[in-house]
Amino acid sequence: MFTRIPRLTLIDYMIFAAVIAAVAYVGYRVETVLIYTWDWSVIPNYLFRWDEGRGSFVPNLLIKGLATTIRIAIWTMIVASIIGTILGIARTSTRLFPRLVSWAYVEFIRNIPPVPFLFLFYFFIASQIIPLLGIDEAIQSASPETLAVAEFFFGPANLMTNFAAGMISLSMMSAAYIAEIIRAGIQAVPKGQREAGQSIGLSHIQLMRYIVLPQAIARVVPPLAGQFITLIKDSSLVALISIQELSFMAMEIAISEQRFFEVWIVTGGMYFIVCYACALMFAQLERRIGVHRR
Amino acid sequence: MIDSADQETVIVMTGVNKWFDDFHVLKDIDFNVRRGERVVVCGPSGSGKSTLIRCINRLEDHQQGSIVFNGVELGAETKQTASLRAEVGMVFQQFNLFPHLTILENCTLGPMKVRGASRAEANQLAMEYLEKVHIPEQGEKFPSQLSGGQQQRAAIARSLCMRPEVMLFDEPTSSLDPEMIKEVLDVMIELAETGMTMICVTHEMGFARTVADKMIFMDEGRIIEEGPPEEFFANTKNERTKLFLGQILSH
Ligand SMILES: Nc1ncnc2c1ncn2[C@@H]1O[C@H](COP(=O)(O)OP(=O)(O)O)[C@@H](O)[C@H]1O
Ligand SMILES: [Mg+2]
């Protein structure tokens, strides 16, 4: 394969030099102004600690928090995609009622900042919805094997209801944004596609399932990827409602160890890795879908 | 209700009127199609030709008059509408193949999901019709990998896979490059020879002379002339028709 090497112009070199100078200046200011002694030695222990009993390294708070963040992000992507797709379809319905309900929902969420929404919704969910799900009963009656599987997917048993409440709150929020993306995708599918589907006798649901949605989703992979990355970052907000994910853990450690910069830099780096990996995965997916598009 | 004469008549339109808001697009349409008949509809752009045939498979609904298909009156969209549409094939000017499916999948979707055929049956049926439209080797490709003429023939095969009673064509060659028009028309002529009932909106007058049993000329939402092609081309009485034919036959 032949790769094109971009040619750098004078302007590129000037921008590059300016960036280097800016970074150096900020570094210099931090060194002179900030009276701070860096100490990175506490960090590794919070990633993995030595377990005497087992005689091996086990994940500690930061890695556990990261695992919770990844779990919550993946479940939220799944749940929010399902709710968002249903809302998105409802937005394009020919009937007034579904259109009105999903419109109201989307506008409600989009015009409230995430923090008040999460607080209010979390208390509603935790007090009203979660008891209905019967998670606690299920955990109590579960066999150790089932519980081990459940813990792999949903995190520690004692925090599962908490996890579910946080995940559902976050999903309800993301669903509104996903609904808008799906709606735009559905509306971008040409009318002729529906008509062709109708003319071979497909029902409404079959038309949606086999003709409209596959094309709509293929079109919206890039904005959907952006929304998923936003969702991963927004998952840090559930720290506010005491879900013990990465940001929550970082906050605890930063306070107890008094090592704010080290802890937050490492935490930021961990988010970056997860988000960037997600972006790369979607770029790959987009390339594969893109092959046969007109 | 159904007497023996009706058995031979697939489509009966009586006094059909249709409006788009306050635009009167179809005016007092009376129009019959017998089983096996080949009808060619022509007329100036905007005269309502597309709307007329789209009313037959309910892509449009009408507000007045009646349309009877195989003895069943067509009305507002119901659960039966989808099964009616399955009996009426439609070929569009823009092909409207499903771009995310291969040609074979385009052809098997309807038989599998609507007719309940197994994948093997549907594949066999699809290959049979892809052979009839002379592109059996294109089945694994996606629509965007085919030429316009091949795409339109694939679209014809997709419709035929539903084994429809009637085929509707809405200017099937109008968006094709000249060198591809013939391959599509040839397929349509071969289809006509099998005895398929066809209604074609087209300005291909050579095709019309070859296959049409009946010509229809529309203008401003009315059928203003109807008759066998010999009569239609040789001695039309109508000035509008003469003018129109003069325009399209001169090039
Ligand atoms: N969905 C629609 N809404 C409003 N007007 C329409 C619609 N479809 C067609 N028309 C109008 O109806 C008239 C007839 O259209 P059409 O049946 O497509 O004509 P033709 O196929 O003979 O060119 C045109 O003037 C067109 O602008
Ligand atoms: Mg037309």
Assess whether pLDDT exceeds 50 at residue A226.
yes
Asked if B82 and A202 come within 8 Å (Cβ–Cβ), the reply is yes
Is residue A37 pLDDT above 60, yes or no? yes
In a domain? residue A7 = no
Q: What is the pTM of this model?
A: 0.85
Q: Identify which of B51, B92, B174, B200 to mutate to test ligand 1's pocket (most ligand atoms within 8 A of the CB).
A: B51
Give the ipTM of the model, two decimals please.
Answer: 0.91
The pLDDT tens digits of the residues spanning B134-181 come to: 999 999 999 999 999 999 999 999 999 999 999 999 999 999 999 999
Produce one character per residue of A175-192: b if its CB has 16 or more CB atoms within 10 Å, e if not.
bbbbbbbbbbbbeebeee
Least confident of A4-8, A256-260, B69-73, B217-221: A4-8
Residue A293 has pLDDT above 60, yes or no: no
Q: How many CB atoms lie within 10 A of CB B171?
A: 21
A53-82 residue pLDDT tens = 888 888 888 999 999 999 999 999 999 999
Q: Is residue A22 part of a domain?
A: no
Instruction: Classify B129 as helix, strand or coil.
Output: helix
- Domain-located, residue A67: yes
For residue A95, give the DSSP letter: S
Nearest 5 degrees, angle CA A55-CA A58-CA A61? 145
CA of B205 to the centre of ligand 1 (A): 23
Say if B19 is an interface residue toward chain A (CB within 8 Å): no
Which of A75, A77, A113, A69 is CA-nearest to residue A224? A77
What 3 state SS string does B3-28 have? Answer: CHHHHHEEEEEEEEEEEECCEEEEEE
What mean pLDDT do residues A132-152 have? 85
Does residue A40 belong to any structural domain of this protein?
no
Residue of A127 and B217 predicted with greater confidence: B217
pLDDT band at B1 (very low <50, low <70, confident <90, very high): very low
Q: What is the pLDDT of residue B219?
A: 93
The CA distance from A200 to B22, in Å, is: 31
In this complex, is the C-beta atom of B33 within 8 Å of any C-beta atom belonging to chain A? no
* A20, part of any domain: no
**What residues contact A257, with CB distance under 8 A and at least 6 apart?**
A42, A263
- Beta-strand relationship, B166-170 and B88-91: parallel
User: The domain spanning residue A276 has which CATH number?
Assistant: 1.10.3720.10
Do the domain assignments include residue A18?
no
User: Domain tally for chain A?
Assistant: 1
Tens digit of each residue's pLDDT (9 = 90 or more) over B23-73: 999 999 999 999 999 999 999 999 999 999 999 999 999 999 999 998 888
pLDDT tens track for B94-129:
999 999 999 999 999 999 999 999 999 999 999 999
**Helix (H, G, I), strand (E, B), or coil: what is residue A133?**
helix
Greatest extent of chain B over all pairs of C-alpha atoms, in Å: 55
Higher pLDDT, A291 or A263: A263
Q: Which residue range is the domain that position A203 belongs to?
A: 49-293
Mutate to test the interface with B, among A198, A199, A203, A212 (most CBs of B within 10 A): A199
**Model pLDDT, residue B3:** 47
**A134, containing H or E segment:** none
- Examine residue A94 and state whether it is found in any structural domain, yes or no: yes
Q: How far is the CA of A187 from the centre of ligand 2 (A)?
A: 23
pLDDT: is A20 or A118 the higher one? A20
Residue A251 lies in a domain: yes
**The one-letter amino acid at A184:** A
